Amino acid sequence: MECKPLAYRQKLIKSGDLLEIYSYEQAIRINHKRKKRKKAKKEKPEENELDKRMKSDFSLRRTRANIVRLVNSSPELKVFITLTFDDKKSETGSFTDISKCNLIFSNFIKRLKRYYPSLLYLAVPEFQSDYYYRSKVRKEHGGNIHYHVLSNLPYTANSQLADLWRYGFVNINNIRHVSRVGLYVAKYIAKELFDGRLKGKKKVFYSRQLKRPEIIITGQKIRTYLNSLKSPPELLLDKHYKSDYVGEVNYRLFKER
């Protein structure tokens, strides 16, 4: 029976043909809960607010990285769809309520699965500009929400998909020519996640059936995996940074040949 490690200093994440290797100065303990720090009697509001913002930014960057890994692990996601809302279909004249729009989107996915049972997808919401493009006049309720969806849908006419969507316009792009789909969608994902209006709301939708990245967390297993490759992977990035929790970190990104 294999014994699970209690801590590790290296981690390999494989998503598609990309390999990410993290090397940590301090060992990371598994299933270890950090002791809560005692709060100082006097805290400066500015420092406290800064600390919260840093934690939030770290969480969002980690979410973004996980999304890109999911995309890289699922090469069948080659159809990029944008779903927009038509103000005329709203009783209030706009679609700016993220909770309401997320429910509409979830129901759309259920309808879509009836026609395509093997549907795989990953989607993120985005707010449109709060100002009209030509007049630069501020919109009364702010910019509408729309959804960017990456999927494995076969050829489907825009009009057919719009009939299933029911709430506005649909744009479909085939991105089979794009070699790095994860990086392609990253530009759409980056700013949306940091939008304050999405705080506390669901920011990412994806199929449970999507392939997950493979994670290896012991040095010996990492060496065994790398030695099993037919040829050494190509180094794409090598950088160092400092973490408040584990000290110096060396991050290397490779591509399998």
Residue of higher predicted confidence among 188 and 101 = 101
Distance CA 68, CA 253 (A): 14
Q: Is residue 123 over pLDDT 70?
A: yes
Least confident range of 11-15, 171-175, 190-194: 190-194
For the chain, the average pLDDT equals: 81
- Once rounded to an integer, what is the mean pLDDT over residues 137-146? 64
Distance CA 238, CA 249 (A): 11
Would you place residue 174 in the very low, low, confident or very high pLDDT band (cuts 50, 70, 90)? confident
* Residue 169 near residue 153, CB atoms below 8 Å: no
Q: Is residue 133 over pLDDT 50?
A: no
Q: Which residues, including other chains, have CB under 8 Å from residue 74's CB and lie 6 or more apart? A: 120, 122, 152, 210, 211
Q: What is the pLDDT of residues 243-256, one digit of tens each?
A: 887 899 999 999 99
Least confident range of 15-19, 60-64, 69-73, 103-107: 60-64
* pTM recorded for the entire structure: 0.76
How many angstroms separate the most distant Cα atoms in the chain?
Answer: 69
CATH 3.30.70 residue ranges for the chain: 79-206
Which CATH code fits 79-206? 3.30.70
Q: Is residue 134 over pLDDT 70?
A: no
Q: Is residue 111 over pLDDT 80?
A: yes
Q: Is residue 46 over pLDDT 60?
A: no
User: Which tokens in the block code for residue 241?
Assistant: 């940074």
- Once rounded to an integer, what is the mean pLDDT over residues 164-182? 83
